[in-house]
Structure 1
C-alpha cells in the first residue's frame, strides 16, 4: 500500500478548513433568520457567506397512510416558484417548546384532515447544506381518523387533499410530477421499506 494514501470511513465532524471570524443576523422572520458570516482560510483572504437558520427547530413532513394504503397529498400553491405542488403535510413549530412530534400531529390535522393513532419518526435531513442550517424531520402516520382541518394562509386558503396509492405516488416521483424534496424522500423511503411499512 502507498503510504501517502489514507483509507477511512467518511467523518463528517473532522476539523473545519475554515475559521469563522464574525457572524451577525441580518434578517429575522417568524420561520427563519439569515446570518451574515465572515470566514477565512490559510489560503484565502476573508470572505462572506449567508446562512439560513430555522427559528423554532426542525421543519416537519408527515407521510400518512390510510387503512386501505392510500397516501394523502396536499395541493399547495408555492409563491417562490409560482406553481402548484403535491406535498405530504408539513410545516414548522409555531412556538419554541412545540416538539417535532406535536408539529407533525398538528400539520396532519390542519393540512390533510386526519388524526393518527401512531406517528413515528423515520428520517431527518438537511434541506440545503450549502446555505442553510435547516433540517426536516420525517414522520410516518397510521391509524388515521378524519378530523376537522384548520385555517390556512392567504396563498392557499383551502388546499385540496388528494389520496394516492403508494405505486401512484412513486410513479409521480419518478416522472417529475412531485417535486417537493420532503415528499420525494418520504415516498421513496416507504417504497423501499420491507413490506412498505416504516413503523416496524
Structure 2
C-alpha cells in the first residue's frame, strides 16, 4: 500500500429489513450482505444504525477558557462533560451551519472565527454517523431565539474551564466523551489552543 488512508467501498446487500423506524432521527435496519468476490457464499447479517451525523463546537474565549456543558446521557447512565453539539437533522444543511446553530441554541453564543478541526466516523462498525468538529473563537453573547431547551437539555449546565485543565482532564480520563476528547487533542496538536 503506497499511501495510508480510508477508501470508499461497498459490498453487495442481498436484503435489508427495518428493525426500527419511527420517523425520529435514528433508525435501525438489518442488512444481509456478501463479500464481493464470493457471490455463492451464504449472506451474513450486520445491524446498521442510521444517523444523520452531528456537529460539535470547541469554543474558546479570550482568556483561553473552553465553553463546556455537563449533560446527562441515559444510554451510558452518566452525566458527561461535553461541548455544544447537535444533530445534522435538516437534509442538506452544511455541518458548519449546524455548529453555529448549536452554539447559539445550547450556549447562547456566536463566534466570528471558525476552523474545521476534522470529521470522523462515530462507530463505523454499527453506524454511518459522522461527527464534524469545529474550533470557534471571537465569542459574543446572543439570544437562542425561540429555541426552547427540553428533556436532558433543560437540565444541562454550561460552564467555562481553562483549556489546559480540560486537556489534562481528557488525558487523565476524567473527561471521556469521544467528541470532546478528539476536539481537545486536535486543537492542541494543531497549536490552536
What's the TM-score once normalised by structure 1's chain length?
0.84
Match among 130, 142, 154 for residue 137 of structure 2: 142
> In the alignment, is the contact (CA less than 8 A) between 1:166 and 1:191 conserved in 2?
no
Hey, what's the Cα distance between the residues in 1 that align with 2:105 and 2:5? 40
Instruction: Give the stretch that moved more between structures: 138-147 or 96-105.
Output: 96-105
Does residue 153 (structure 1) correspond to residue 147 (structure 2)? The answer is no
Match among 8, 27, 32 for residue 26 of structure 2: 32
Mapping of residues 99-118 of structure 1, within 5 Å? 99-118=94-113
**Aligned-residue offset at 1:44:** 4.7
Mapping of residues 50-69 of structure 1, within 5 Å? 50-54=47-51, 57-69=52-64
Equivalent in the alignment of 1:124: 119
Hey, what's the Cα distance between the residues in 1 that align with 2:111 and 2:58? 11
Superimposed CA distance per residue, residues 130-168 of structure 1 (whole angstroms, 9 cap, x where no aligned partner): 111110111111110022344223124141111111110
Q: In the comparison of the two structures, how many residue pairs are matched? A: 187
SS of the residue aligned with 2:43?
Answer: strand
Equivalent in the alignment of 1:90: 85
**Aligned-residue offset at 1:46:** 1.6
Does residue 171 (structure 1) correspond to residue 168 (structure 2)? The answer is yes
* Cα distance change, pair 174–145 in 1 and its aligned pair in 2 (3 A): same
Higher-Rg structure is: 1
Q: Structure 2 unaligned runs (5+)?
A: none
Equivalent in the alignment of 1:4: none
SS of the residue aligned with 1:45?
Answer: coil
Hey, what's the Cα distance between the residues in 1 that align with 2:65 and 2:176? 19
**Aligned-residue offset at 1:67:** 1.3
Hey, what's the Cα distance between the residues in 2 that align with 1:82 and 1:123? 28
Equivalent in the alignment of 1:46: 43
**Aligned-residue offset at 1:14:** 7.2
Hey, what's the Cα distance between the residues in 2 that align with 1:11 and 1:80? 32
SS of the residue aligned with 2:150?
Answer: coil
RMSD: 2.1
Mapping of residues 6-21 of structure 1, within 5 Å? 7-10=1-4, 12-13=6-7, 18-21=11-14
* Cα distance change, pair 40–100 in 1 and its aligned pair in 2 (3 A): same
Equivalent in the alignment of 1:72: 67
SS of the residue aligned with 2:111?
Answer: strand
